[in-house]
Amino acid sequence: MDNLCVLIMAAGKGTRMKSAIPKVLQPVLDSPIIDYVIRNAKSAGVSPENMAVLVGSGGEEVESYITTKFPDVKILWQHEQLGTGHAVKSAREWWRNYDSLVVLNGDVPLMRPESLRELISSSGKNDCTVITFEAENPGAYGRIIRGENSVSIIEYKDASQEQRKIREVNAGCYAFRVKSLLSIIDSITNNNAQKEYYITDALGLMNDAGMSTGAFIMPEEEMQGVNTQAELAHVSKVMRHEILADWLSEGVRILDPETVYIGADVVLMPDVTIMPNVQIWGKSKIGSGSVIGSGSILTNAVIGENVHVIAYAVIENSTLRDHSKAGPFCYIRDNTVLEAGAFAGKFVELKNSTIGEGSKVPHLSYMGDATLGHDVNIGAGSITCNYDGEKKHKTVIGNNCFIGSNTMFVAPAEVEDGAATAAGSVITQKVPENSLGVGRARQKNIADWSLRNHHHQATTEGEK
């Protein structure tokens, strides 16, 4: 397969999406359409060095996305969008160095690697092979005209009433013998209803030149393109069910697949349990035996084994190690780590903090830019005052510390191993090893307060 390349066409405007976002960057679940196309080509065995994405309309955005996420994939430009035939021609200097060229519409995210592999393996047989499907509603798709030993395509707008009745349509995925394509590509004209250069005309030209063309049919569900928001929503739904079905078959328990969303980059281990109404996105990973409770939303969360995310936890870009626990109702974000056996409980926010092994932040706390050692207990209502209006400062708490309820750590703050703080303390100085930090006003009792208070009220009323 070394001498094969894949050109993904993504220069079109996608006018029918009625969106400022380029079509191939429109999201299916949490990834752009183009991700699925590239991933599919990779799974079919094509290395990214032999892939190019043709950009044009909204091309800067597509280019910056691709170069960040897939740096080995080449970006080629089609500055004016004069049709798919013109698109393939614009990339000629790149693909002419290969023996075979596979052209994929950039808007076919549901295609499976097996289907692409079949197209690739047919690339040696014909001068051009095209993938088709039997459309329930063939709409504006190009119609497949099958000859005795050949195939050609007529675009909907150019088709006769009779031809429009054909339900076998062009999916927009082609395999070409490069030498053959080179010999006819300059003969493609824009002599048609849309005044566009059609790549689909290549087949007719090849037939006329005595070359071989062929087609194979794939399931419609897999080959449908995305041209409208309604099609995007439909494709997202199909993708969601495929991903869930894959994980169920790998031994993941999903109580109610109707309410669960899992992104395509997520990795789950067998014996993970996912409760209803859960969303898992990005590059999240979940280890075996872990349970993700209802209402939780995980994005780029790395969850170890036997972790219990109790319910309604939002976890972003953070790590929960084995046997840790979180929730209900917590927000864990920005590179926070719950070490093994740690716990973040009710109404707790953790930001860029490490909670050491076996340490607990059970209720109503905010720990930001904090490092806690092992076996620390944070009393309810404790907060790191990590932001002075200009800069963020760190709070460091050692091992085996006992933090009294409602302690305020005015960062930078430090509590050494084995130390404690008194409830309600405002900590502005280091608390040394094994000491108790008390940072609050002493209680003073004012005698006969209620009597005086009554007397005062009586006087003021009398003055009215």
Residue 315 interacting with ligand UD1 (CB under 6 A) = no
Place of tokens 């043709």: 54
Binding part of the chain for ligand UD1, among 77-85, 273-281, 391-399, 456-464 by CB under 6 A, reads 77-85
318: buried, middle or exposed (CB in 10 Å: 19+, 13-18, 0-12)? buried
Which of 153, 268, 278, 415 is close enough to bind ligand UD1 by CB under 6 A? Answer: 153
410: nearest Cα among 447, 432, 392, 384:
384
Q: Is 200 in the site for ligand UD1 (CB under 6 A)?
A: yes
198 sits near ligand UD1 (criterion: CB under 6 A): yes
Stretch near Ca ion under the rule CB under 5 A, chosen from 1-9, 221-229, 400-408, 419-427: 221-229
Q: Does 10 bind ligand UD1 (CB under 6 A)?
A: yes
Pairwise CA distance, residues 20 & 330, whole Å: 35
What does 60-74 look like in DSSP terms, one character per residue?
HHHHHHHHHH-TTSE
Nearer to ligand UD1, 171 or 302 (CB): 171
Hey, which residues are catalytic here? 363
Taking the least distance from each CB to ligand UD1, the nearer of 146 and 346 is 146
Task: Indicate whether 86 belongs to the interface with ligand UD1 (CB under 6 A).
Answer: yes
Residues 142, 225, 287, 345: which binds Ca ion (CB under 5 A)? 225
Q: Does 138 bind ligand UD1 (CB under 6 A)?
A: no
What angle separates helix 33-43 from helix 113-122, to the nearest 10 degrees?
60
149: tokens are 């030993």
Q: What are the Cα distances from residue 372, in Å, to 242, 303, 353, 403, 405?
A: 41, 19, 8, 11, 16
Instruction: Output DSSP code: residue 157.
Output: G
- Our CB check for Ca ion shows the closer of 84 and 354 to be 84
Q: Which of 29, 54, 116, 211 binds ligand UD1 (CB under 6 A)?
A: 54
Of the candidates 138, 130, 188, 134, the one whose C-alpha atom is nearest the C-alpha of residue 165 is 138
Of 84 and 395, CB closest to ligand UD1: 84
Whole-number minimum distance, CB 66 to Ca ion, in Å? 19
Q: Which of 84, 115, 207, 300 binds ligand UD1 (CB under 6 A)?
A: 84
DSSP assignments along 9-44, one per residue: EE-S--GGG--SS-GGGSEETTEEHHHHHHHHHHHT
Under the rule (CB under 5 A), what is the footprint of Ca ion?
225, 227
